A and B are shown apart, each in its own frame.
Chain A
Amino acid sequence: MTDATVSAARLTSSAEGVTYNQMVVEILEREKQTDRLFFALSDATRRDIVTQTLDRERSVSELGRLYPISLTAVQKHVEVLVDAGLVSKHRSGRKQLVRGEVNQLRRGHELLDELETVWRARLERFEDVLNETTGKESE
């Protein structure tokens, strides 16, 4: 809905096809990301891995002991979750640690909202300076 509105606005007010194409690519990329997210959450084991790794990091082998499946199968599930951005993987010594990223994502949204406020204020000042400098030129 928002994407469609934005792209329509881009289409009518932007003479540059480049900007519009960039927007289309961004929308398609987001749709792909949504597909990955839904696919990742369509499996009970994967949903449980996200839950198990939200409160604290767990190693792949630790996760392997929770389910009646092979370590390779656990690793595959983790990869799917990494692609969807639901968990992140990092090394600690010889251990491969998995961490749930749902909170990270929510924090990311919050931070971007704050950043938008910062930039809106900054651009207000930008325009003030612009008005002052161009004012001088026209005098």
Chain B
Amino acid sequence: MKKALPFYTLLAPSLLLLSVFSLLPFLWAFWTSFSDYEVGGQTKFVGLANYGEYLTDPTFLPSFVNMGLLTLFHIGVVLIFPLFVARMIFGLSSERARYLYRLLFLIPIVVPGIAGTLIWRGMIYNDHGLVNETLRVLGLGELTRGWLSDPQAALWAVALIGFPFSGGVNMLIYYAGLAGIPESVQDAAQLDGATGLRKFFRVEYPLLMSQVKLLVILTVMGGIQSFEGMLALTKGGPGFKTMLPGLWMYLNAFSFQRMGYACAIGVILFLIILTLTVLNLRYFRSTEELTEARS
């Protein structure tokens, strides 16, 4: 035991920080969700009342439908666009060109995420923005609208932000997978006469499964959790047309000061994520990807 003391000392700073800033909030989330915690008001234990209220909340159904639609859309996107670009780059014969394209497609990640969102809001979707002005130039003026305020268009407008969805790290992850396929496998496929699309779907795509799974898991986790973009774009409007559960949690906590209610929404989202995690572990046994899908 005495010999182990230096090890505990070395670990102490890490463990202390984790316990205070990660474990405490985790436990606190559940505790607060059972109480009527309002800033400036009296805190009292209310049992499951917050959960009951959320199930009948007018945002409940629309926000989960929006979350599901956006997540499905982004799963489709992440399966196609960055993979297509990665495969294209991988197919170039010049090593220098391959490097250059990877670098160029990485450029968008230097722009802070929120700046990217604000650019779409302020320059592409606004009244005199890129989309409307392009429509006017093409003589399609009657199609112009406030893309983020139109009840029919808002959710789609949000989904299409980032088009053509190829910049950044996702493409590099696919590329790393392609580069990791052993030469012998590629050669064998060549010998068997597999070329083009056939070779891609029969030989390469199955070998990219771990990358595909990683990106799908990250997309699902992001789809359930992220709402910053929506906060900056629409605040959930018009009406609840673009409301998300996470955004409703945020608004309750920081606009309406209803901390207990917000924590209950957080706990429900956590339980959904936990369920998906367990299902994934049981049926796909991909612990490694999961550990990277954190927060």
| Co-assembled chains A and B | no
